[in-house]
Amino acid sequence: MSLILRRKWLNYLRKMLSIIFRGNILLSVLFILLPVDDVIIAQNVVSKQPQSDEVVKYITASDFKANVFDYSVGEYKFLGKKPVLIDFYATWCGPCKALSPIVDAIAHNYSSLIDVYKVDVDKEPELAQVFGVRSIPALLFVPKDGIPRMLGGYMYYERLALNVAVLLLGQQLPQEIVQLYQIQQQQLQQQQQTKETTE
C-alpha cells in the first residue's frame, strides 16, 4: 500500500474511532491528537500478541510475596525489579476472556518495561481477598515508587496502554487531555449527584 493511501486510510480510521468513542472524551481526544503514524489500532492486539504465555506469568500468593511485595508484613515495600501489572481473572468469566488477549498484547509490547502477572481468583482466593477483589476482571497497577492502584472492568487496548504509561511508567499526559479528563470526571460526579437527589 502506498504511503499516501496508508495515510488516508489511517486518517479515516482515526476519524471513525473518534466517532465511536465520542461518549468517552478522553479516548476521542487521544485519537484526534495522536499523529497519524502513532495511531494505535486494534491490529496491535492481534499481530503483536505472543504465541504463548511466555511473557505473562501466572502467580501464586507465595510468588507474589517473594516477587512483588509481602502483604503479611505491616509495611509496604516493593520487591520487584520493574513495575507490575496484575490481572485478576477467572476461567468462567466472559469479560476476563475478552480482556486476556489485550493483557497478553500489553505484556508483549511492554515486556522490557513492566512485568505482567495473572491471578486466577478461584485458585488464589487469598490474593483476591487481600486486595478486595469483588468483581472481575480487575487490574492491579503496582509502580516501583508509589502506591498500588486497582482498576476494575474490561479495558480496550488503548485505555490499558494509557493506564500503564501513566500509573506504572510515570509518563505525563498533555495538559489539554488532563483538563478534558477533569471536566469529564466533574460531569460524571454531577450526574451521580443528580441521580442520588432524584432517588
pLDDT tens, residue by residue, 141-172? 999 888 889 998 888 888 888 888 888 888 77
Q: Which residue has the cell 490499558?
A: 160
Given 40, 93, 166, 180, the catalytic residue: 93
Is it the case that residue 173 has pLDDT exceeding 80?
Answer: no
pLDDT of residue 8: 58
Rounded-to-integer distance, Cα 193 and Cα 196, Å: 5
Residue 193 falls inside a structural domain: no
Q: Please, where are the H alpha helices in 21-93?
A: 25-33, 43-47, 61-67
Given 96, 133, 160, 164, the catalytic residue: 96
On whether both 18 and 115 belong to a single domain, the answer is no
Identify residue 77 by its one-letter amino acid code. Answer: K
Q: Indicate the burial class of 38 (C-beta count within 10 angstroms; 0-12, 13-18, 19 or more).
A: exposed
Concerning whether 178 is annotated as a catalytic residue, the answer is no
On whether both 28 and 66 belong to a single domain, the answer is no
On whether both 146 and 159 belong to a single domain, the answer is yes
Average pLDDT value for residue range 75-96? 90
Residue 35 falls inside a structural domain: yes
Rounded to 5°, the CA angle 26-113-36 comes to 40
| Count of the separate structural domains present in the chain | 2
On whether both 70 and 31 belong to a single domain, the answer is no
Rounded-to-integer distance, Cα 35 and Cα 69, Å: 39
On whether both 21 and 10 belong to a single domain, the answer is yes
Residue 189 falls inside a structural domain: no
Residue 14 falls inside a structural domain: yes
On whether both 62 and 134 belong to a single domain, the answer is yes
On whether both 85 and 165 belong to a single domain, the answer is yes
Question: Which positions ≥6 away from 61 have C-beta within 8 Å?
Answer: 124, 126, 127
On whether both 24 and 106 belong to a single domain, the answer is no
On whether both 82 and 29 belong to a single domain, the answer is no
Residue 48 falls inside a structural domain: yes
Is it the case that residue 39 has pLDDT exceeding 50?
Answer: no
On whether both 113 and 16 belong to a single domain, the answer is no
On whether both 26 and 69 belong to a single domain, the answer is no
- Domain that residue 154 falls in: 40-175
Residue 182 falls inside a structural domain: no
Average pLDDT value for residue range 76-81? 85
Concerning whether 96 is annotated as a catalytic residue, the answer is yes
On whether both 73 and 163 belong to a single domain, the answer is yes
Higher pLDDT, 4 or 137: 137
Residue 184 falls inside a structural domain: no
Residue 59 falls inside a structural domain: yes
| Among 9-13, 77-81, 117-121, the range of highest mean pLDDT | 117-121
CATH classification of the domain holding 156: 3.40.30.10
